């Protein structure tokens, strides 16, 4: 089968599309014929071994997993002997390592569910990663109904997901983004928007119960003045924010924490229901054929993408 492959850490140019052995499902797995996958910020960090300590999990000298990608949408090609939830031909989507390939094996109990009715493979492939991290952040501060929430970096994969999910949970929502995407963010449910090229949310005098920094650009140290007493600053990235989380755990009434994602079936099923109810949609910036994975990755690493970047594994 065709797959994206890399055997050393490095820049996007280390990625290649080559033939690799097709996996075979274990008794509790399904083999998915992948139609679409994505390139995410997580993929880029793993490939580049950044931050450096990530090598403790991904491989000290060279990557343990040679095929990148975590999101997929496709059709069940084969099922293991113990599988009861899925059948051959089912359209499915979810999260599984090694998804930038024509086939991937996924545990039946893993982060996989039937595709939402009414959407295609490309949109389905772009649903889960950003939304799973957004849910991990927002679950830390539930209930959100009526509480003031600011989302910084509201136009990326995690940001567009956080805006929609915070709106669903009933937050009073302010979103920070760039000029070209302000109308998009409004359409996703923001009550008000801030153009970061024109205004600094840390200096305009407004305060919030929750700040979600989806970009890793800011830090609790800079943003705590915009928190109300007892407020929470949630970051998705940044070593300095990890240090702030340790420091504020017992000191002060304003806290910092990190959103740590865990991919779960129940979250995939939850997102499926939201999509079918018209409460959530994946935002897609660009689509690339699998063979152009290097170009797709370079674009993701510009930090200028809006929503998600999709790889078409099958035309």
Where does the pLDDT of residue 221 fall: very low under 50, low under 70, confident under 90, or very high at 90 and above? Answer: confident
pLDDT at 85 over 80: yes
Task: Kindly report, residue by residue over 248-285, the tens digit of the pLDDT.
Answer: 777 778 888 888 889 999 999 999 999 999 999 999 99
- CATH, domain range 2-127+282-312: 3.90.180.10
Q: How far apart are CA 248 and CA 291, in angstroms?
A: 46
Residues 6+ apart with CB under 8 A from 189: 163, 164, 166, 167, 168, 173
CA distance 296 to 286: 8
Reported as a single tens digit per residue, the pLDDT across 113-139 is 999 999 999 999 999 999 999 999 999
Q: How far apart are CA 164 and CA 179, in angstroms?
A: 19
Please give the Cα distance from 129 to 158 (Å, whole number): 8
Domain ranges of the chain: 2-127+282-312, 130-258
Is a pLDDT exceeding 70 seen at residue 183?
A: yes
Residue 216's pLDDT is 72
Q: How confident is the model at residue 244 (pLDDT cuts 50, 70, 90)?
A: low
CATH H-level superfamily of 130-258 = NAD(P)-binding Rossmann-like Domain (3.40.50.720)
Segments in the chain forming alpha helices (H): 41-48, 55-58, 121-125, 128-138, 157-168, 182-187, 220-223, 239-248, 265-276, 293-300
- Residue 44 burial (10 A CB sphere; 0-12, 13-18, 19+): middle
pLDDT at 192: 96
Give CA angle at 92 (3, 281), nearest 5°.
100
Tell me the pLDDT of the chain averaged across its residues.
Answer: 94
Q: What is the pLDDT of residue 298?
A: 98
């Amino acid at each position: 089968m065709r797959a994206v492959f890399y055997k050393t850490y490095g820049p996007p140019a280390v990625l290649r599309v080559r033939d690799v052995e097709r996996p075979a499902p274990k008794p509790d797995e399904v083999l998915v014929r992948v139609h679409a996958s994505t390139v995410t910020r997580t993929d880029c960090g793993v490939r580049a071994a950044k931050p450096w300590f990530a090598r403790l999990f991904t491989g000290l000298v060279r990557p343990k997993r040679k095929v990148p990608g975590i999101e997929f949408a496709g059709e069940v090609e084969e099922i293991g002997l113990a599988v009861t939830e899925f059948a051959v031909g089912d359209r499915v989507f979810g999260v599984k390592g090694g998804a930038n390939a024509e086939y991937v094996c996924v545990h039946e109990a893993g982060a996989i569910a039937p595709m939402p009715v009414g959407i295609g493979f490309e949109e389905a492939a772009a649903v889960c990663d950003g939304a799973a991290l957004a849910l991990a952040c927002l679950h830390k501060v539930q209930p959100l109904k009526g509480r003031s929430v600011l989302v910084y970096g509201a136009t990326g994969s995690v940001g567009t997901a956080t805006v929609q999910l915070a709106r669903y949970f009933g937050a009073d929502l302010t979103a920070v983004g760039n000029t070209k995407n302000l109308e998009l963010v409004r359409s996703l449910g923001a009550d008000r928007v801030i153009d970061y090229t024109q205004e600094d949310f840390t200096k305009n005098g407004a305060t919030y119960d929750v700040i979600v920094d989806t970009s890793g650009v800011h830090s609790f140290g800079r943003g705590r003045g915009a928190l109300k007493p007892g407020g929470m600053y949630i970051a998705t990235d940044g070593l300095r924010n990890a240090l702030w989380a340790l420091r504020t755990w017992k000191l002060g009434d304003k806290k910092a924490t990190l959103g740590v994602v865990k991919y779960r079936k129940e979250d995939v099923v939850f997102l499926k229901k939201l999509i079918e109810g018209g409460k959530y949609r994946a935002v897609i910036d660009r689509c690339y054929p699998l063979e152009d994975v290097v170009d797709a990755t370079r674009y993701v690493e510009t930090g200028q993408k809006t929503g998600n970047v999709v790889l078409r594994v099958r035309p």
